[in-house]
Chains A and B, each alone.
Chain A
Amino acid sequence: MSKILMKGNEAVAEAAIRAGCRLYFAYPITPQSELIEYMAKMMPKVGGTFIQAESEVAAINMVYGAAGVGKRVMTSSSSPGISLKQEGISYMAGAELPAVIVNVQRGGPGLGDIQPAQGDYFQAVKGGGHGDYQLIVLAPCSVQEFADLASDAFDLADKYRNPVMILADGMLGQMMEPVEFKPAKTQEELEALANQHLSWCICPNADGDAKHHHEINSLELDPEILEKHVNKLYEKYAEIEKNEVRYESYNVSDDNEILCVAWGTAARVVKSAINELAVRGKSIGLVRPITCWPYPYEAIASAIGPKVKKVYVFELNSGQMVEDVKIAVNGKVPVDFWGKLGGIVFTPADIQAKLEACF
């Protein structure tokens, strides 16, 4: 397959369709609208369903329903709309429903602006809805990775019966880069997908089994039973933490005098600064979490080389990831933070200046 120059918003939509997603429900919002528009165009062509819902609240509940019948389903939005979806996400986590939610983040809080930001880290990673639950959170940093993570997201959602969020931002949504897609699922694979959840999902009682009774539900009034249920969820989360941590190490070596931690778009900018400074003989490493939950605590801890003076966190928010980094660093070296707010994306020059000042 040859490469196509594509916007991130379109690439993630195409990748989802190839991964077997045939149900998509969403509501327009900038800077995510190309995604919904791509789905509007393509879903009818592959015999799928596209509905522009009347709101994000409706869209996420359509997702709840479609996931409840055991089908691959996706929704997408940008920050203000993702806030509206939190109720539904909490219900899906409680009912253990697999689904993919894409957040093309923009500046906040409130209506904020429409420029790229990373202000929804806490919401995504620490639980934006109510109750004890976890989302699997994937953070791409290129159009290619945005597309790749879309199909991984569906696999993870199905494997763990858990909602998965792809946490992107306006820059990844709007920029074009060459992207190479995995082959689309074959008819047989699609059928296998359709049947994978029959043991629990809402489906016809094919063999007239008198005991067939599947419930999609997050209600449990008996505290003892609810506690058991949540404990079971946390056993699952522990399993995910054991198996699914992903990160990228960039330029990490024993020569590093600084170790950077950054995710998504921010990490790309940091890479440019690292490259510029490497030319001048300054050794700086980067750990880029690809899963923001489960978090790569150990990867960061073990990337702190003997000469590292400090761990520097760069984000397009007020420092929401810093506490996770501090858990990883565990007091070994100081942790510093610098970021930009309001939808401003820092430039390689900004980061370079910050890093140079450390030497």
Chain B
Amino acid sequence: MTTEMICAGFGGQGVLTIGRFLAQAGMKEGKNVSWLPSYGPEMRGGTANVSTVISDEPIASPIVSYPDLLVALNQPSLDKFGPMVRKDGIIIYNTNMCPRGCKRDDVQLIPVPMNDIANEIGSAIVLNMLAIGIIIGKTGLVKYESIEEVLNSFLREKNPELLEKNLQAIKRGIEIGKQYT
């Protein structure tokens, strides 16, 4: 199986990390992965996006034309990438920053007030971890344990407090994602 995914949002919302951690977890599980960020001055205050592919087969193009999965953290991202999602694909979006929502009826929509939930957990910076959780809960793309391992290696020493918050956000996301299965 191959899952092609785009994560997009404002620079600073941590979208690149969503793709990176999922790719890293996928790699740990022996899958083929690729991670392709947008780059350049558009990152400065502008929007950022990352294409991530996780597959059992060798990955041909890391560029994603028709994502199976979109994570949109703001309205411009949802407007830009929403129409590209494959029929029967999944769109996870942040209702706090997507006031107009998404009009498609041929895909599965997962609207989540991500800022609200992240703030409940205690910090806006766990928003991207929440998104990772929702993806895992909905699709089982990678195992929770693999993500935990990745996060451990990044944060266990550097910032155990943030690690705990991140894991909490991922677990919360998984619960939300599961409601849509």
Chain A residues in contact with chain B, CB under 8 A? 3, 5, 30-31, 113-115, 170-171, 174-178, 268-269, 271-272, 274-275, 345, 347-350
Contact with A along B55-99 (1 / 0, CB 8 A): 000011111111000000000000000000000000000000000
Q: Closest CB-CB distance, A354 to chain B, in whole Å?
A: 13
Whole-angstrom CA separation of A48 from B24 in the bound complex: 30
Q: Closest CB-CB distance, A170 to chain B, in whole Å?
A: 7
Assess the A177–B39 pair: CB atoms within 8 A.
no
Chain B residues in contact with chain A, CB under 8 A? 20, 23-24, 27, 32-37, 39-41, 59-66
Chain A residues lying within 8 Å of B39, measured Cβ to Cβ, are: 30-31, 114, 170, 174
Which one of A5, A115, A349 contacts B65 once the chains associate, using CB atoms below 8 Å?
A349
Given A3-B27, A271-B60, A349-B65, verify A175-B40 contact (CB < 8 Å).
no
Q: Closest CB-CB distance, A178 to chain B, in whole Å?
A: 5
Chain A residues lying within 8 Å of B62, measured Cβ to Cβ, are: 171, 175, 177, 268
Q: Closest CB-CB distance, B89 to chain A, in whole Å?
A: 14
Assess the A176–B34 pair: CB atoms within 8 A.
yes
Chain B residues lying within 8 Å of A3, measured Cβ to Cβ, are: 27
Which one of B32, B35, B41 contacts A176 once the chains associate, using CB atoms below 8 Å?
B35
Assess the B33–A177 pair: CB atoms within 8 A.
yes
- Name the residue in B20, B32, B65 with the highest tally of chain A Cβ atoms < 10 Å from its Cβ: B65
Given A5-B27, A5-B35, A175-B35, verify A114-B40 contact (CB < 8 Å).
yes
Given A114-B40, A170-B39, A175-B35, verify A5-B23 contact (CB < 8 Å).
yes
Assess the B34–A175 pair: CB atoms within 8 A.
yes
Assess the A5–B37 pair: CB atoms within 8 A.
no
Chain A residues lying within 8 Å of B36, measured Cβ to Cβ, are: 171, 174-176
The list of the 8 closest CB pairs from A to B, nearest first, reads A272-B61, A271-B60, A272-B60, A349-B65, A176-B35, A347-B65, A175-B36, A269-B61
